[in-house]
Amino acid sequence: MTENVVVVGVDGSEHALDAVRWAAEEARLRGGHLRLVCAVGFPVVTPVGGAPLGQERQLEALTDAGADRVAAAAAVAREVVADLDIDQVVRVGTPTGVLVAAAEDAGLLVVGNRGHGGFAGLLLGSVGVSAAARAACPVAVVRGATRSTGPVVVGVDAEGSDAALGVAFEEATLRGVPLVAVHAWSEAVLDPFLVSFVDWAAIRADERKVLATALTPWTDKFPDVRVSRIVARDGAAASLLRETDGACLVVVGSRGRGVVRGPLLGSVSQALLHHASCPVLVARAEEAGS
């Protein structure tokens, strides 16, 4: 994996161009280069009212259109970073497959909040979610306000947060901004018959220890990052969403256990992808034993 390669999906939509602008700045921060990628689907039908072209001619026309979109995106990226090194890639295949393959050697894959054309339903349909589950690198979804200031927010659960924490500390370092670490817990995970007998102060102290334990290796590694710690008696999604207001980025893992029951990508990350007030970065945890 080459950390300074940033891959971004291009489909000609304004949301995709917002992602290109954000990714260009990310590539600058990393001292690397940008790879603009457009997926072209293999034609299977002749458009109604169109000339009966052969499939090869149709594919050529689609590829040319994809190249035009990528070229336009490159111009937008250079408005952000004039001297940015840019690769322009058009490949035949499904959007998810093309993006994941193009990001095999990358440090980050970026997609827009919505899209059209070759990236129909770019994020909220399926592409962003499936890319986050399959890509070998972190996946950022550009939504909400894009800010150069404000903290990086990271969700921390009882286990499985190392990938998210590592990415979050690196992003905070790149930007020179503080980090807000959020660990949420809720009585909803307890037997309701026990709620009135629970020592909430003791539980809160235990949850603070959970957060401290998770953070210690990273605060040792990144001593210059200022960290604020939030332990909330609330759902993880609600707690993180509150902190995205004014943040420059929120980072979550792709899966988790502990206070967040079930797959993280299917619950907390989904809530952030739909409602966060800033870009969302999903750090994919490696499979155990891989």
Q: What is the full per-residue pLDDT of the chain (290 aa) written as tens digits?
A: 566 899 999 988 888 899 999 999 999 999 999 999 999 987 655 555 555 557 778 888 889 999 999 999 999 999 999 999 999 999 999 888 999 999 999 999 999 876 544 443 343 445 776 777 788 899 999 988 899 899 999 999 876 588 899 999 999 999 999 999 999 876 555 565 665 666 667 777 888 999 999 999 999 999 999 999 999 888 888 999 999 999 999 999 876 433 333 333 557 888 888 889 999 999 876 543 33
- DSSP string across 167-218: HHHHHHHHHT--EEEEEEE-GGGS-GGGGGG--HHHHHHHHHHHHHHHHHHH
The single-letter DSSP state of residue 119 is: G
The CATH architecture to which 2-142 belongs is 3-Layer(aba) Sandwich (3.40)
Domain extents for the chain?
A: 2-142, 152-283
Contacts of 143 (CB under 8 A, 6+ apart): 113, 123, 273, 276, 278, 279, 280
CATH topology agreement for domains 2-142 and 152-283: yes
pLDDT tens-place string over residues 151-192: 999 999 876 588 899 999 999 999 999 999 999 876 555 565
The token pair at 246 is: 């004014």
Q: Model pTM greater than 0.95? A: no
Arch. (CATH architecture) of 152-283:
3-Layer(aba) Sandwich (3.40)
Whole-angstrom CA distances from 151 to 103, 115, 122, 148, 172 are 27, 27, 27, 9, 7
Share of the chain above pLDDT 90, in %: 52
Neighbours of 213 (CB within 10 A): 11
Distances (CA, A) of 60 to 9, 141, 276: 20, 30, 39
SS3 143: coil
